Amino acid sequence: MLVLTGSVRPTYSQDLPVVPLDDVWKQKIRGLAPAKTSFPVSEKKRILVFSLHTGFEHWVIPHTSEMIRIISEKSGAFEVVDSKDIHLFEPEKLGKFDAVVLNNTCSKPEHRNLFWDKLRAESDADSLNLMQKALELENNLLAYVQNGGGLMVVHGGITTQNKSRAFSRLVGASFDYHPPQQPIQIRLVDPEHPMVQVFPKEGFKHIDEPYFYSNAYEDKDFRPLLYFNNEEITGQREPAKTGKTYVAWIRAEGKGKVMYCSPSHNAQSFENPDLLQFFLSGLQYVVGDVDCEDQPLGAS
């Protein structure tokens, strides 16, 4: 769980047990995974699932990688490459993929810069040179999406470059904080939107960390898909937020597409077949197979 600071109200916390990533779990997810995509597939696409963390380690990281592999293989829509190699963010290597998934790629709190963290760990070179290289790798990702690449950011992946305004704008937000895990009622912004029609109109309940956001989030430069009511969230900093907080959204960036999805802190989340279909549709969206409304909501 990421660090929670500041004054809080009494909380209700419900941490779920760690699920072994074994054949039993894999077979369960394979049985629940959709047999086909919700949208036509233009051609089989290649996806990089990037699973490096330098900061907080979410135990669900390997489960998320396996989930993406299962829904990709079962539907036949994607070829998946899983890696922790930051050097894949060089332009000639990024160009071999149709989309990148940032799988809980949490950075260390000091700089909130995953690329810097890894480069510093690998080298004793001058700090300025390493930071310049970290910025270059970040800019490579920004250009990749601008020129037509897809990007899906899963849960803690939002902290990858959390102090970068450019990354915050690309993703749609920066991470602020989260109260303890608790049951959350996830609701649909627009039940008629094709990306969420797989869910019941009333939404769904699951246990997760309720993320709150900052920086670019205030601009609402995205099309929101899922949200929770702030008044239902315990353990908030004071003053507690009212209204709603979005937990999944999509946005166009240049020629590329971006999706953020927070509900997935626990592997138990993937035992919801509707959420598996949602992730599969999200992959289709970021590779350009989904023609849907993704114009920004705008600040309100």
Give the pLDDT confidence of 227-236 residue by residue, as tens digits.
Answer: 999 999 999 9
Does 149 fall in a domain? yes
DSSP count for the chain of H helices, then E strands: 7, 11
- 269: nearest Cα among 249, 247, 238: 247
Q: How confident is the model at residue 2 (pLDDT cuts 50, 70, 90)?
A: very low
- pLDDT on residue 300: 45
Q: How confident is the model at residue 10 (pLDDT cuts 50, 70, 90)?
A: very low
Query: Is 20 buried (19+), middle (13-18) or exposed (0-12) by CB count in 10 A?
Result: exposed
Domains held by the chain: number: 1
Does 292 fall in a domain? no
Q: How many CA atoms lie within 13 A of 265 on its CB side?
A: 22
Question: Rounded distance, CA 167 to CA 82, Å?
Answer: 22
Q: What is the mean pLDDT of the chain?
A: 94
- pLDDT on residue 6: 31
Residue with tokens 């990702």, as numbered in its chain: 141
Give the total residue count for the chain.
300
Does 14 fall in a domain? no
Whether pLDDT at 239 is above 60: yes
Does 84 fall in a domain? yes
| For residues 194-205, average pLDDT | 97
Span of 9-23, 199-213, 285-299 with lowest mean pLDDT: 9-23
3-state secondary structure of 222: coil
φ/ψ of 170, rounded to 5, equals: -60, -45
Whether pLDDT at 5 is above 60: no
Containing structural domain, residue 277:
23-286
Question: Rounded distance, CA 218 to CA 266, Å?
Answer: 27
Q: How confident is the model at residue 9 (pLDDT cuts 50, 70, 90)?
A: very low
**Residues 154-174: tens digit of each pLDDT:** 999 999 999 999 999 999 999
Span of 7-11, 117-121, 186-190 with lowest mean pLDDT: 7-11
Whether pLDDT at 121 is above 70: yes
First to last CA, the chain: 31
Task: Give the sign of the dihedral formed by CA 186, CA 192, CA 196, CA 202.
Answer: positive
Does 219 fall in a domain? yes
Task: Give the sign of the dihedral formed by CA 287, CA 73, CA 92, CA 104.
Answer: positive
Does 18 fall in a domain? no
Q: Look up the pTM and report it.
A: 0.94
DSSP 199: S
Percentage, residues of the chain above pLDDT 70: 94
CATH number where 218 lies = 3.40.50.880
Does 296 fall in a domain? no
Residue 11: both structure tokens together: 């909380």
Q: How confident is the model at residue 198 (pLDDT cuts 50, 70, 90)?
A: very high
**Residues 123-151: tens digit of each pLDDT:** 999 999 999 999 999 999 999 999 999 99
Question: Rounded distance, CA 168 to CA 253, Å?
Answer: 12
- pLDDT on residue 299: 52
Cis peptide preceding 239, ω within 30 of 0:
yes
User: Which amino acid is present at 138?
Assistant: E
Question: Rounded distance, CA 72 to CA 279, Å?
Answer: 10
Residue with tokens 């959709």, as numbered in its chain: 34
- pLDDT on residue 15: 80
**Residues 286-295: tens digit of each pLDDT:** 999 999 999 9
Cβ atoms < 10 Å from Cβ of 195: 27
Does 9 fall in a domain? no
